[in-house]
Copies of this chain bind each other. A is one copy, B any other.
């Protein structure tokens, strides 16, 4: 399989731009913090009124907004800025699809700082930060994740609930492993009024999931199993076990050990539902899914964005009969549905 995504003639500008890319992250994060997009959405279209709205100096606002225009997040016409379809939908606080909070987690000082020693991380083959993966109990990072990344999960949570046929209304026991914000289990509970969801995560993280279950009106069917997914007693008889954005933190052996436990918790006709960034076998496409490996290199000791063949092998080794891959457009992720027994 060959991959030459952009075989351009020699051009140092691409190097210059890549070395400046950290500015792109910083500018978008700063604009979100300053509510630049919300201000423009409210009609503060020129530098002067926008600076006033954002309590910032005009020089700062003008240069930031020009930069955001260059990066495609604003339009500019005769000294007036306007939102693009993307920034109007996702970066204006007044939009129901607002997801500006994700900048807090994705570009946290800890994440930025960690990447500054990437050469050392590559030398060592993994992150120096978390000796046992990045899922340490009480890790404040996972509370921040549960709170700030939730808006990013609304669309994939809906798509997963649809994909597994939740709305058929069959009485289900659903185990939501490393539930975090809880949105995947909650979406199933919303689609299926006969589903009982059991959410596993650290106690403080489960508080966030529980809040979200209350907001969604499903808290009576949303139960908490606090503790490590590797240690807590799951119980059994589950129709579905959700493994959303979890397996990428660990090596294959660790995952297989967990999957044996998942296999045991499922009914004979049960399914494990894995949401992941799943690159093609070439590991360099599609770009967003494949690039996720770098985050796992810098944040974990042995995690990865696993290919479907690798995920399928882990499930097979844990006793599952067969697995199916379903991309979830428009998200960059895929869902893998693994059946305990064949047919």
Identical copies in the complex: 2
Q: How many residues on chain A are close to B (CB under 8 Å)?
A: 100
Chain B nearest CB from A144 CB (Å) reads 14
Residue picked from A89, A115, A288, most chain B C-beta under 10 Å: A115
Mask, A55-90, CB within 8 Å of B = 1, is: 111111111101101111101111000001110111
Partner of A60, one of B91, B123, B284: B123
Could you tell me the distance between the alpha carbons of A14 and B63 in the complex, rounded to whole angstroms? 21
Mask, A280-291, CB within 8 Å of B = 1, is: 001111011011
Given A16-B102, A56-B125, A115-B26, the answer on whether A1 and B77 have CB atoms closer than 8 Å is yes
- Decide if the interface of chain A is mainly helix, strand, loop or mixed: helix
Partner of A66, one of B1, B119, B283, B302: B283
Chain B nearest CB from A269 CB (Å) reads 35
Q: Which residues of B contact A63 (CB under 8 A)?
A: 122, 293-294, 296-297, 304
Could you tell me the distance between the alpha carbons of A18 and B86 in the complex, rounded to whole angstroms? 12
For the complex, is A106 an interface residue (Cβ under 8 Å from B)?
A: yes
Given A5-B70, A33-B119, the answer on whether A59 and B302 have CB atoms closer than 8 Å is yes
Q: Which residues of B contact A84 (CB under 8 A)?
A: 4, 6-8
For the complex, is A96 an interface residue (Cβ under 8 Å from B)?
A: no
A3, B89: Cβ atoms closer than 8 Å: no
Give the residue name and chain of the B residue nearest to A290 (CB): B70
Could you tell me the distance between the alpha carbons of A78 and B77 in the complex, rounded to whole angstroms? 47
Could you tell me the distance between the alpha carbons of A126 and B123 in the complex, rounded to whole angstroms? 37
Within 8 A of B (CB), among A1-33: 1-30, 33
A297, B77: Cβ atoms closer than 8 Å: no
16 A-B pairs besides A57-B126, A59-B126, A70-B290 with CB distance below 8 A are: A1-B78, A2-B77, A5-B72, A7-B72, A7-B84, A8-B72, A8-B86, A12-B99, A12-B152, A13-B288, A15-B28, A19-B102, A21-B22, A55-B123, A56-B125, A70-B284
- Pairs A–B under 8 Å by Cβ, sample size 29: A3-B69, A4-B75, A5-B70, A6-B72, A7-B85, A8-B85, A10-B88, A12-B90, A12-B99, A15-B73, A15-B90, A15-B91, A15-B102, A16-B288, A18-B28, A20-B295, A22-B22, A27-B294, A33-B119, A60-B121, A60-B126, A67-B290, A67-B293, A70-B287, A70-B290, A76-B282, A76-B284, A109-B116, A112-B112
